[in-house]
Homo-oligomer: A and B are copies of this chain.
Amino acid sequence: MSAISFAGLAAQSADFMFTNATVLTMNEQKAVYEQGTVVVKDDKIIAVGDAELASEYKAQTVMDVAGDIVMPGLINTHTHASMTVFRSLGDDVPDRLHRYIFPLEAKLVARDMVRIGAQLGNVEMVKGGVTTYADMYYFEDEVAKTVDEIGMRAVLGQTVIQFPVADAENAQAGIQYALNFIEQYKDHPRITPAFAPHAPYTNTTETLQEISRLSLEHDVPVMIHLAESAREREVIAERSGGLSPVAYMADIGALNHNLVAAHAIDIDDADIALLKQYDVGVAHNMSANIKSAKGVSPAIDMLAADVRIGLGTDGPMSGNTLSTIDEFNQVAKVHKLVNRDRAAMPPTDVIEMATIGAARALHMEDEIGSLEVGKQADIIVIDTKAPNMVPMYNPYSALVYSAYANNVQHSMVAGELLMKDRQVLTVDENQVRIEAQKFADVVRQSVIESGEEIR
């Protein structure tokens, strides 16, 4: 009965309805509605279907998008949003990590810097169609406040590392910071607090084991940089008697369904089998990985092995932008190049890794990642009238090969509009920019004092 529309029947009430849309549901069948309707009530999607569906609902707000693409909000599975204040500084300097990043972080990471950078990153992501992101940094409770304010959804990983850092003098202190943060945010509807051990090579076996145990005890995610470089492989092989980073993590009991591994560049088939076996999520950061000449993660093999994998941008000193739309083109094309196959990594796979695949990578596929009844109303609208998007024969192809991050017109999270007609509604974008530009002067001064150039 529910599929039949009765003209005479009283329409159901709803809060918001997108009509006349090219709806990409990203459900199991990848259903597309060419003049589709998406209906929202409270924070959830209550109906998705074709044009006729609209007559069954009476929504407080109806947005006729005139053929534009309506799709699940993008999910950025790996970033360090606060680092926007350092964006582009020292790009391409060979020993940049030691000459720019570490000294800057040692001097400048503090609550203010984390807040200012996260605010800018949030605005950039909302304007680029990202509705959920996974972050790894310091003072994540400051990031949480900014996420709460702008209305996005996020998985926020408090860093644990064996060196003294701004918010913890050692790994134990980092774990304690994370536990407090988890306690504070465990019931937030849009924020998932998490542990973020920096990497296997910057933490001891014991720390990694403790975090794994605590993550199961508190049922929270663990985010880690894993299998990123040849150097990491050497360090871990030495520590473990020849194991790969992934095999080492399995060996010590630190691979489980709570883990999200960023990068996974330097992995083989045995590693991929372990990632699948332990139900680990993977963040695929093409743009950052090729910029640093680290190589190309075998995402195609992971997709074939049914590993949970989604797109990430990495941080703004790596990527350098924070919308996963900026990854689409590069992900689709670089996999073709390295596989010498123009049919490799088709647009549907790319869009899957940006939506429901990314939700799977974060183990949130029951909540977000597709437009389906009962899921959270995290929805974006993409302008299909911009000249770069015209004509549109295949919406997946248009998104992957033609769309710009600023073709995103509107953005909704949990039923609330965060952006309308490219205007961010929940924070003052100019204020955020001005504060970041002001902080950039502090950064410039710090670089000059350190004896390096602004470059």
A interface residues (Cβ-Cβ under 8 A, vs B): 84-85, 87-89, 91-94, 120, 123-124, 127-128, 287, 290-293, 295-296, 319-323, 326, 329-330, 332-334, 336-337, 339-344, 346-347, 385-388, 390-394, 397-398, 401-402, 404-407, 429, 432-433, 436-437, 439-440, 443-444, 454-455
A67 to chain B, nearest CB (A): 9
A299 to chain B, nearest CB (A): 14
With a cutoff of 8 Å between Cβ atoms, the chain B residues found around residue A454 in the complex are 393-394
Name the contact of A436 in the complex, choosing from B84, B341, B390, B404 (C-beta under 8 A).
Answer: B390
- Bound complex: CA A128 to CA B93 (Å): 29
Considering the complex, give the chain B residue whose CB is closest to the CB of A96.
B342
Considering the complex, give the chain B residue whose CB is closest to the CB of A403.
B321
With a cutoff of 8 Å between Cβ atoms, the chain B residues found around residue A443 in the complex are 391, 393
A437 to chain B, nearest CB (A): 6
- Bound complex: CA A454 to CA B392 (Å): 10
With a cutoff of 8 Å between Cβ atoms, the chain B residues found around residue A123 in the complex are 387
With a cutoff of 8 Å between Cβ atoms, the chain B residues found around residue A387 in the complex are 120, 123-124, 127, 429, 432-433
- Bound complex: CA A443 to CA B92 (Å): 44
Check if A333 sits within 8 Å of B390, measured CB to CB. no
Check if B405 sits within 8 Å of A347, measured CB to CB. no
Check if A88 sits within 8 Å of B342, measured CB to CB. no
Could you list 6 further interchain pairs (A-B, Cβ under 8 angstroms) beyond the known A87-B393, A391-B439, A394-B454? Answer: A89-B394, A91-B401, A292-B336, A293-B344, A329-B330, A330-B330
With a cutoff of 8 Å between Cβ atoms, the chain B residues found around residue A91 in the complex are 347, 394, 397, 401
With a cutoff of 8 Å between Cβ atoms, the chain B residues found around residue A390 in the complex are 84, 87, 120, 433, 436-437, 440
A421 to chain B, nearest CB (A): 14
- Bound complex: CA A302 to CA B408 (Å): 38
Check if B393 sits within 8 Å of A293, measured CB to CB. no
Check if A334 sits within 8 Å of B336, measured CB to CB. no
Considering the complex, give the chain B residue whose CB is closest to the CB of A430.
B385
Check if B332 sits within 8 Å of A291, measured CB to CB. yes
- Bound complex: CA A292 to CA B326 (Å): 19
Check if A402 sits within 8 Å of B333, measured CB to CB. no
With a cutoff of 8 Å between Cβ atoms, the chain B residues found around residue A84 in the complex are 390-391
A-B CB contact pairs (8 Å), 26 listed: A84-B391, A87-B391, A88-B392, A88-B401, A91-B401, A92-B397, A93-B343, A124-B387, A287-B329, A287-B333, A290-B336, A291-B333, A293-B341, A293-B342, A295-B337, A296-B337, A321-B401, A322-B388, A334-B334, A387-B433, A390-B440, A391-B436, A391-B443, A393-B454, A393-B455, A397-B455
Check if B402 sits within 8 Å of A321, measured CB to CB. yes
Query: Most chain-B CB neighbours within 10 Å: which of A385, A387, A454?
Result: A387
Name the contact of A88 in the complex, choosing from B398, B432, B444 (C-beta under 8 A).
Answer: B398
Considering the complex, give the chain B residue whose CB is closest to the CB of A393.
B89
Name the contact of A320 in the complex, choosing from B120, B323, B401 (C-beta under 8 A).
Answer: B401
Q: A89-B393, A92-B347, A337-B334 are in contact. Are A386 and B406 (CB under 8 A)?
A: yes
With a cutoff of 8 Å between Cβ atoms, the chain B residues found around residue A93 in the complex are 343
Check if B388 sits within 8 Å of A321, measured CB to CB. yes
Check if A393 sits within 8 Å of B290, measured CB to CB. no
- Bound complex: CA A91 to CA B340 (Å): 16
With a cutoff of 8 Å between Cβ atoms, the chain B residues found around residue A92 in the complex are 342-343, 346-347, 397
Query: Most chain-B CB neighbours within 10 Å: which of A295, A296, A402, A440?
Result: A402
Q: A337-B290, A390-B84, A393-B89 are in contact. Are A94 and B343 (CB under 8 A)?
A: yes
Query: Most chain-B CB neighbours within 10 Å: which of A85, A124, A454?
Result: A124
Name the contact of A291 in the complex, choosing from B323, B342, B406, B436 (C-beta under 8 A).
Answer: B342
With a cutoff of 8 Å between Cβ atoms, the chain B residues found around residue A322 in the complex are 388
A45 to chain B, nearest CB (A): 28
- Bound complex: CA A386 to CA B429 (Å): 10
Considering the complex, give the chain B residue whose CB is closest to the CB of A291.
B333
A419 to chain B, nearest CB (A): 12
- Bound complex: CA A295 to CA B339 (Å): 10
With a cutoff of 8 Å between Cβ atoms, the chain B residues found around residue A332 in the complex are 291
- Bound complex: CA A287 to CA B444 (Å): 34
A436 to chain B, nearest CB (A): 5
A268 to chain B, nearest CB (A): 19
